[in-house]
Amino acid sequence: MKTEISFLGVKFDNPIVLASGILGVTAASMKRCIDLGAGGVTIKSLSMEPREGHVNPTMAGYDNYFLNAVGLSNPGVKEGVKEIIKFKKMCSAPIIGSIFGGSVEEFGETAEIICESPIDILEINISCPNVKEEFGSPYAYDPKAAAAITKKVKEATSKHNIPVSTKLSPNAWNITEIAKACKEAGADAVTAVNTVSGMTIDTSFQTPLLTNKSGGVSGPALKPIAVKAVWDVYDACNMPIIATGGVTSGDDAIEMMLAGGELVGVGSAVFWRGPEVFKIIVDEMKQYMTNNNIDSLASIIGKAHTS
């Protein structure tokens, strides 16, 4: 029974990876996710300069969804690189870097710095839904902007032979067009998807619960939206996909792979099932393999498209 996945030439012991923004802040927190069963980790998105993010309250969890407007808080790419180096000294598991910026040039500059660290893959976060006031509408809505950023980042990563995955937004009505533009600009893969825009109102105070008013919805409520995005991108682009959004069980992860995902990002599931969720999901996937006489997880990637 093989759970290993080779993604963009990088070997993952299993396809479950820590999604960006959840736990992946320090080397120790990322190493713990590996110890708890993740096949790889994605560091929290890093910017050129440190960011404090939004004022609390920034998060709220409910039965079927999690809402956050943390605001891309991070210590800056130079400090993030230190944590990446520490992580690689602690274990050999793959680590996916993640960056964002306020302009095409800033994406390129940030990529230049993070590529000096031992990342295995670089994810370009062009799709965070809760920083509109600071950065304007996400670049993930505009094919030309998404392509320009992807091309600029590829110029930096190609010197280090580091593959790139551009992270797409479920809010984009033209997500396959965005994916195609990124592919043509040099993206080796796409990550589908980031959180979807949402809001909750505190009825006691009759005001939006989050200081930022709106935020990003993750958790089970996001899953069918994410599955459809993965399906559409796989159909339209025939390129490697990191499928993420609402995965909380082994069956969810299998569903993502059947839709076309090769790796499966897991994030807010730790809210419902605890930090042990990575091993739990992998064990549930193994049980599915046993029940369905599947020898290798790689064999089910995109299989729903042919059945």
Distance CA 113, CA 125 (A): 16
SS3 139: helix
What whole-number distance in Å separates Cα of residue 73 and Cα of residue 216?
14
Contacts of range 141-148, beta carbons closer than 8 Å, 24 or more positions apart:
141/169, 141/171, 141/172, 141/174, 141/178, 142/178, 143/174, 143/177, 143/178, 143/180, 143/181, 144/181, 145/104, 146/178, 146/181, 146/182, 146/185, 147/181, 147/182, 147/184, 147/185, 148/104, 148/185
Dump the DSSP string for 37-70: T-SEEEPPPB-SS-B--PPSP-EEE-SS-EEE--
Residue 182 catalytic? Answer: no
CB atoms within 10 A of CB 228: 16
- The active-site residue, picked from 33, 91, 115, 128, is 128
Catalytic residue list: 128
